[in-house]
Chain A
Amino acid sequence: MTAHSEVPLWRTVSVAVCALCSLYVDSVAALGTDAGVSISNTATVAYEIAGAAQPPVSSTPVVTVVDELLDAVAVNDNGGNVPVSSPATGAILQFTVTNTGNGPEIYRIVAEDNVAEGGFDPSLTQLYLESNAIPGLQIGGDTAYVPGTGDPNLAEDQAQVVYVSADIGAGLSQNDIGDIALRAIAQTIINQAGTDDPDAVAWPTPGTSYAGQGDGGGAAVVGASNDTANLLIRTTGRYEVSNAVVTVVKTAPTVLDPFGGTTVVPGSVITYQLQVSVAGTGTAEALVISDVLPAEVSYVANSLLVDGVAEDDDFAPAGVDESGFDAGSSTVSVDRGDVTGGSPDVIVTFQVTVL
């Protein structure tokens, strides 16, 4: 049996090797006026009586304090179904929770593995919060998270990447799916409504307000993202059983700086290694390993090795040589064609110079 279209393979590879993506997190401008800010308004009036200008009069100032909007959005970052083998342990889904309210708020992030419409039930084993600024889950590096303990305090507009690790049972068939549902609930709602479950009777409708509970002393107002009809605070990630599962591990085994040391400074040469493995009993068709280099580095010409064998940079003759370095898109590509599960890992190495 063959497995897998090219699209998810490409996506898996690209996501896994995006080395410098974390540099661009959290640069979004503030969405709304901060909770606790005073909005003040005073009108002045000038007038004349019998041709004589009178001293202008002012209204008393009208001062209104901005209340705290409790809003968050959870997004499935996986870009599609995540291929898993059956059985599998430690299959990872990635989500991002963003505080779209206007004040800092603690969010409890809850994942469920028994989603009714989601096919098989994955077995949730552990949640992790991205904490070491290295994209992707590093067990031991990122923070293991238990909802209700160490819930993240998110500033307005701040995003938190969350990883869900689950085990996949044995005996599942090709293309079986299993869902994980994830939601982020404001601590203020949990405290006031006494539940973190949108299906509970006590769950508040949007517009519900809690006097004095807002950041800055105003009220806290339940935002539209908490509307159970819209489910913006909930999202679902999906595993899909595949008989050929491609995984990529990117490492930088050697760094050589201009002084013979190992610091990353302009002029340092970094050797990157992509270890690509295909697991399972099927075949990964038209496997293309690609890595888009960030603008901060420049590819070292003719440094591409595939399984230790030099691969030239060009793509000639066209249609035959599909591997090389495309300067236009700053992308290293290695075409492996169809790869059967259990084949030896493909090792791709290349070098870049830090600009």
Chain B
Amino acid sequence: MSRSLRKIARGVAFLGLAALSAAAHAQLDVANTIKKVHVEVTADGTVQRKLVAADRIIPGDELRYQLTFTNKGEAAIDAGTIVITDHVPEHTVYVDGTASGSDAQILFSLDGERYASPEQLLVERDGEQMLAKAEHYTAVRWVYAPALLPGESAEVAFNVRLQ
């Protein structure tokens, strides 16, 4: 084998390793945590909402899923390409107006396939089209607008109510 061929072979082997390590260690890490929304009415009638550990959940409780995604790689993730999708868990319904995420466009889905903003989600009832209600959403999607540089992270969240 000539020296040049050996060089190429080594190069191919190196490329192969690089591809493997990319698959094993994704650039993006996503962490999911759950909290319970604790509602307290104080003596003067003020309603206070705070997040507490979700170690006791019973029907009627409001739960918040927080998704934190972090660029753990060494290259920037392209602007507008991070698409986070989460499904409303079985036995729960989405709580209207609770999906949040700065710099992200928030879309919803009724079937887990087509995602759109709330004013574009229609259902048909008795032959008439009407806006879908929040409790009919089955999934939430965030399209994160900025690029995510190495080491940066961002957070999105949504609430559901246990039936």
Interface residues of A (CB under 8 A from B): 31-33, 37, 39-51, 53-55, 57-62, 64-69, 102, 209, 218-219, 221, 223
Q: Say how far A113's CB is from chain B's closest CB, in angstroms.
A: 34
Q: Say how far B113's CB is from chain A's closest CB, in angstroms.
A: 14
Known pairs A66-B59, A67-B57, A221-B56; A45 contacts B90 (CB<8 A)? no
22 contacts between A and B (CB under 8 A): A32-B58, A32-B162, A33-B162, A39-B162, A40-B89, A41-B89, A42-B32, A43-B85, A45-B83, A47-B77, A49-B75, A49-B78, A54-B27, A57-B28, A57-B30, A58-B30, A59-B32, A60-B31, A61-B32, A66-B57, A68-B58, A69-B58
A37 to B33 Cα, complex, angstroms: 19
A-B contact count (CB 8 A): 118
A325 to B3 Cα, complex, angstroms: 112
Question: In the complex the two chains form, is A49's CB within 8 Å of B73's CB?
Answer: yes
Determine if B60 is an interface residue (Cβ-Cβ < 8 Å).
Answer: yes
Q: Say how far A66's CB is from chain B's closest CB, in angstroms.
A: 6
Question: In the complex the two chains form, is A49's CB within 8 Å of B34's CB?
Answer: no
Q: Which residues of B contact A40 (CB under 8 A)?
A: 89-90
A216 to B157 Cα, complex, angstroms: 29
Q: Which residues of B contact A209 (CB under 8 A)?
A: 56
- Nearest chain-B residue to A65 (Cβ)? B57
- Nearest chain-A residue to B26 (Cβ)? A57
Determine if B81 is an interface residue (Cβ-Cβ < 8 Å).
Answer: yes
Q: Which residues of B contact A69 (CB under 8 A)?
A: 58-59
- Supply 20 further A-B pairs (C-beta < 8 A) apart from A41-B65, A47-B78, A49-B76: A32-B58, A39-B162, A41-B87, A42-B86, A43-B86, A45-B69, A45-B83, A46-B83, A46-B85, A47-B77, A48-B78, A57-B29, A59-B32, A59-B67, A61-B32, A62-B65, A64-B57, A64-B63, A102-B58, A218-B56
Q: Say how far A192's CB is from chain B's closest CB, in angstroms.
A: 14
Question: In the complex the two chains form, is B34's CB within 8 Å of A62's CB?
Answer: yes
Known pairs A32-B163, A39-B92, A59-B32; A47 contacts B59 (CB<8 A)? no
Interface residues of B (CB under 8 A from A): 23, 26-34, 54-60, 63, 65, 67, 69, 73, 75-78, 81-87, 89-92, 148, 162-163
Q: Say how far B60's CB is from chain A's closest CB, in angstroms.
A: 7
Q: Which residues of A contact B23 (CB under 8 A)?
A: 55
Which of B83, B89, B92 has the largest number of chain A CB atoms within 10 A?
A: B89
Q: Which residues of B contact A54 (CB under 8 A)?
A: 26-28
Question: In the complex the two chains form, is A31's CB within 8 Å of B76's CB?
Answer: no
